[in-house]
A = this chain, B = another copy of it.
Amino acid sequence: MADLLSVAKLAGVSRATAARAFSNPELVRALTREKVLKAAEQLSFRPNKVAQQLRSQSTQMIGVMVPSLDNPVFAEQLQAMEVTARASGYSLIVTTSEYDASQESEIVEEMLRQRVDGLVLTVADADNSAVLNKLLYEHPPCLLVYNPPGQSGFPSIGVDNLAAGADATHHLIEQGHTRISMVAGPLLQSDRARQRYAGYCQAMAAHDLIPRPLVEMPRHTQANLACLTPELEGEYHPSAVICTNDLLAISLIGELQRAGFAVPNDLSVMGFDGIALGRHLYPSLCTIEQPRAAIGQAAIHTLLSMINGEMPNPAPLPHVLRSGESVGAPAITPSLSITP
């Protein structure tokens, strides 16, 4: 591929002049500039970013690591980040960690070797993360997304998961539910799920209701009805459940319906995240909507400010309760009908 020197030769100028014709066009005489540009065109010259990066010590690249792209939450957030970053002249190197700590480390190491200008990470557990501990010793601009801003020492973009979990619970209580359970994927892997559960417990307690132990599913994004059956058929038999993410909720609704349960009549189901699809299902999914596009945008803007040497302390972004047909009033039970 043609380089600047060949362009300069063809244009009959020095390499410095050719370079200036691109980077500081006003410093070069119009006629000369024309010659250079024409020569570049003829040779189909394309500036070499790698050389620019080496020279300028800045890659204009951002390293992104998400747990998985199979979950629309991350995919939709990534979409927003990509658009925002490109609008600011940055490119994204994208990786997936599968919530695996050793992969997290390798990925970040590789990105640092690539000399990304900054990192946007979603780690499994921010308060207990080998990668983050390592990163604390270096000082690359680094930002967390979705991970609650705990002791990690890094700024974080996302909603207030505790408040959101509480809001979801309040919503169900307002609808008249008193027996509410919570369903999650493999617990230990996600700090968000823990916070949402804490919010649930808090809201239950605030209404003098006793929170139930978390019901854990073996997979993050696929419900297993058998895990919930003991709870449903037990003495507690909840009238509503909250899932820690939408995919879990949607697949749970499917499993319930297939097993002959009516949603929401037999059981109300809430999701969490607010993926786009939820609106279009029947019943539509009642959920806590995270502003994914705003999160993606804020992540890039915040990171860019960090790259510029600032030390932002971003506030949590507002979540919104999206009502939906998957939640209704609880069926009248004998005990309730006795006490009007």
Contact = CB atoms under 8 A, between A and B. Distances in A.
Given A115-B50, A280-B254, A79 B93 contact: no
Interface string A66-104: 001110100110110011001000011111100000000
Contact of A280 (B92, B94, B251): B251
**How many copies of this kind of chain does the complex include?**
2
B78 A280 contact: no
Contacts of A48: 54, 113, 115
Contacts of A47: 113
The majority secondary structure among interface residues of chain A is helix
Interface residues of A, number: 55
A53 interface: yes
A282 B91 CA distance: 40
Contacts of A115: 48-50
A292 to B, nearest CB: 10
Given A70-B79, A93-B92, A50 B253 contact: no
A34 interface: no
A7 interface: no
A71 B61 CA distance: 25
A276 interface: yes
Interface string A269-298: 000000011001110100000000000000
Interface string A301-340: 0000000000000000000000000000000000000000
